[in-house]
Amino acid sequence: MPWPWRRKSRRKLARIAIEGPIASGTRKRVLKALREVEKREFPALLLRIDSPGGTVGDSQEIHAALLRLREKHCKVIASFGNISASGGVYIGVAADKIVANPGSITGSIGVILRGNNLSRLLERIGIQFETVKSGLYKDILSPDRALSAGERQLLQELIDSSYGQFVSAVAEGRCLSEEEVRRFADGRVFSGAQAKDLGLVDALGDEEQARRLACELAELDLEKTKPITFGQEKNRFAGVIPGRSLFSLALQWLKLELSSSGQPLWLHRP
């Protein structure tokens, strides 16, 4: 027999916000929040997304968790904010419905892997790398030399594989054919209004419009049902540094860029 607070949750709306770059910290926070939403048996989730994208694996794990939540009969409505591109789209297409502002920036469907060829600079300042490796491709994307033809082909195959997974997720989530998705999935960005014409979003409106849609789908009281937010990110600098939101975002980006010992594979962001 479910606990009383679980029965009460069935008449309420959950909310989770995904803001900023999507990386391991975002994944851990969102997955924990989704487990709580599932445990408390909320009938609907309002997923607010304001993100330029992020790493492939983290976006895929959040996408998979949302699909599992839907299997538990929880309606998921995504609300695109200022920007919901690339990894934000990957996550968003796991929702039942997507609502975007007419001017939201979205799209940017693609995958990118970047390295730096500093060989000419290193040669000019007299720096040489000495490399001992166990296999032909172990030092791929090393900054002291250009890619070989074989390395470029290998990386292109990797990108194509991840891109195919992205296209498949969008096609399945939006009930489009992969051929239709590939026509516009070349990294370009769209406004929310353009995305609606392409079938990437269902309706134009703000977060309040998305809340109302979630209530309608879950048969909740439109006027009385207010979202309960889970998984809010703690800001350790709040109240200490003026302009802390911008400062926190800068720190987040810095941590994101330095967190990988190798080259991160990104879902392309504008």
Q: Into how many domains does the chain fold? A: 1
pLDDT score for 259? 38
Does the annotation mark 196 as catalytic? no
Domain of 141? 4-267
Please name every residue paired with 189 in a beta bridge, in sequence order, or none if there are none.
107
Annotated active-site residue 104? The verdict is: no
Per-residue pLDDT of the chain (270 residues; tens, 9 = 90+): 444 444 556 689 999 999 999 999 999 999 999 999 999 999 999 999 999 999 999 999 999 999 999 999 999 999 999 999 999 999 999 999 999 999 999 999 999 888 899 999 999 999 998 999 999 999 999 999 999 999 999 999 999 999 999 999 999 999 999 999 999 999 999 999 999 999 999 999 999 999 999 999 999 999 889 999 998 876 544 444 454 444 554 444 444 444 333 455 666 555
Structure tokens at 258: 């330095």
Q: What is the 3-state secondary structure (H, E, C) of the chain?
A: CCCHHHHHHCCCEEEEEEECCECHHHHHHHHHHHHHHHHCCCCEEEEEEEECCEEHHHHHHHHHHHHHHHHCCCEEEEEEEEEEECHHHHHHCCCCEEEECCCCEEECCCEECCCCCCHHHHHHCCCCCCCCCCCCCCCCCCCCCCCCHHHHHHHHHHHHHHHHHHHHHHHHHHCCCHHHHHHHCCCCEEEHHHHHHHCCCCEECCHHHHHHHHHHHHCCCCCCCCEEEECCCCCCCCCCCCCHHHHHHHHHHHHHHHCCCCCCCEECCC
Q: Which of 59, 79, 84, 86 is catalytic?
A: 86
pLDDT value at position 264?
55
Q: How far is the C-alpha of 219 from the C-alpha of 204, rounded, in Å?
A: 21
Can you give the pTM of this predicted structure? 0.84
**Which among 28, 133, 138, 255 is annotated as catalytic?**
138
- CATH classification at residue 197: 3.90.226.10
